[in-house]
Amino acid sequence: PALAAIVNKLLQKRPENRFVSASELATALREARERPRVTALRIGDDSDTMIATRSLPPRRSPLPDRPYTSIAQGEEERARRGPWLILALVALMLLATGVGYTLFGRPMPDFAATVTVGDYTNMTDAQAQSEIVGLGLRVRFDHSPSDTVPINHIIRQDPTAGVRVGRNALVTLVVSNGKPLVGLYDFRTFTAMDAQRELVSQGFIVNVVRKPDSAPKDSVIDTMPKPGTKIAPNSHITLIVSNGLPPIEVPSFAGLSVPDAQAKAARLGITLDTSQQAAIAGVPANTIAQQDVPAGTTVDRGAVIHATVSTGIQNVAPPAPAGAAVTVPDVTDQPYGRAIAALTNAGFRVAVQYVTQTASLGNVIQQSPAANGQLPTGGTVSVTVAVSGEVPDTNGMTVADATNTLASYGYVVGRTAYTTTGAGGRVVGTIPEVGTGLAPGSSLTLVVNGAPP
């Protein structure tokens, strides 16, 4: 009776007449197992219509009656099978409930809430963004160099094409920013032509901007971008090229000593050549007498100005009686010392100028007036002597021979220094030393063995 009442309650149509929870059902089953004959629940029927059955009279069978079994024995057997039957029924109901929930209780996928990701590779970033946003998705851009994919085109994507994703999902696009960057070479000190040729061969577009600068004219002094900057091929490169310094106005160097004139020229950025020497009356020795570029002329910085340096009047003979005319001797191709002696012995003054060359060193290569002409005694004969522009070797000579040798090279002994080395009374050397480049007409120091007088 207890189990029958539980089954009856499980089969009620109205929810309020069934068990409220599994816990309540478990409690009722425990009560039925312990007291199967006691009905803890009211057996009822909540159906709308009850059909009464009519009792039939006992059937009389011609067959003999079956062996008698007591009612108590049958009820005991049903009591033993009842709990297991109920448990099996409950387990079957729970299994059916789980299967039903699995099949019908969970919400079905909403395919309308997902979209298929398209193929955006090789599109421009703007085209791909438009399509992705149109599908209700979000987009993020990453950038990477590429040798094959044009700039601002899609290299790859994530998710890949064909994948279904929920709306508002994120699609990452890798966009090409062109070919890999390269470091800009340092073209400073290159000529503008060489730098431009090299950059064009590398595929760059070159602009040239010129500006005044102390660097040599037409040399590259800077670039934009700076050297070493990472840049893409086909970029624009600007070369900053020196146009040299602005031209300057040549001053007058006449009357300045050679050191002062050269210092002034250096400050202005020009070079003063003082290798040309001449004995010019009225102009002290080692003083600028003339210059080949007149004062006030405009020249570029670095220009060379040739100046004539006075050596003073040398070996002037006493004037002859006025009015007497003598023949000018021929001294061309003669050594300096012999030529000077011949002219002074004839009663002439001698003006000496020097020219730097490699042939006929120490000899007169030109004279004025020409040989065999008539000139009053006391007149001046100008001679030009070929010199090397370098201090000659006088080591081992006597002081007189060394002095004459230096004079033939255009140099004057300014002072004499003494030393204990070398042979007695002989020249040991000069200051500056032999082979040093020195402008003719300059003075130097003669170093002699011995003690000062």
DSSP secondary structure, 333-382, as one string:
TSBHHHHHHHHHHTT-EEEEEEEE-SSSTTBEEEEESPTT-EEETT-EEE
Nearest to 161 by CA among 219, 111, 214, 122: 122
Predicted structure pTM score: 0.33
Shared domain check, 440 and 412 = yes
Q: For the chain, what is the domain count? A: 5
Q: Is the residue at 91 inside a domain?
A: yes
The domain containing residue 87 runs over which residues?
A: 1-45+83-99
Shared domain check, 215 and 162 = no
Q: Is the residue at 317 inside a domain?
A: no
Q: What are phi and psi of 207, to 5 degrees?
A: -115, 145
Shared domain check, 288 and 228 = no
CATH code for position 421:
3.30.10.20
To the nearest 10°, the Cα dihedral for 429, 434, 436, 441? 70
Q: Is the residue at 26 inside a domain?
A: yes
Integer angstrom CA distances of residue 159 from 15, 112, 122, 142, 151: 50, 19, 16, 14, 22
Q: Is the residue at 382 inside a domain?
A: no
Shared domain check, 153 and 122 = yes
Shared domain check, 186 and 121 = no
CB atoms within 10 A of CB 377: 18
Q: Is the residue at 169 inside a domain?
A: yes
Q: Is the residue at 367 inside a domain?
A: no
Per-residue pLDDT of the chain (453 residues; tens, 9 = 90+): 677 788 888 777 787 777 778 778 888 888 877 777 666 555 555 555 444 444 445 555 555 555 555 555 555 555 566 666 667 776 777 776 665 555 555 554 454 578 999 999 999 999 999 999 999 999 999 999 888 899 999 999 999 999 999 989 999 999 998 888 888 999 998 999 999 999 999 889 999 999 988 888 899 999 999 999 998 888 899 999 998 878 889 999 988 999 999 999 989 888 898 887 777 767 788 899 888 888 888 888 778 888 888 887 554 444 445 557 889 999 999 998 889 889 988 888 888 888 888 888 889 999 999 998 888 888 889 899 898 888 899 999 988 888 888 888 888 776 788 888 887 788 998 988 888 888 777 777 888 888 776
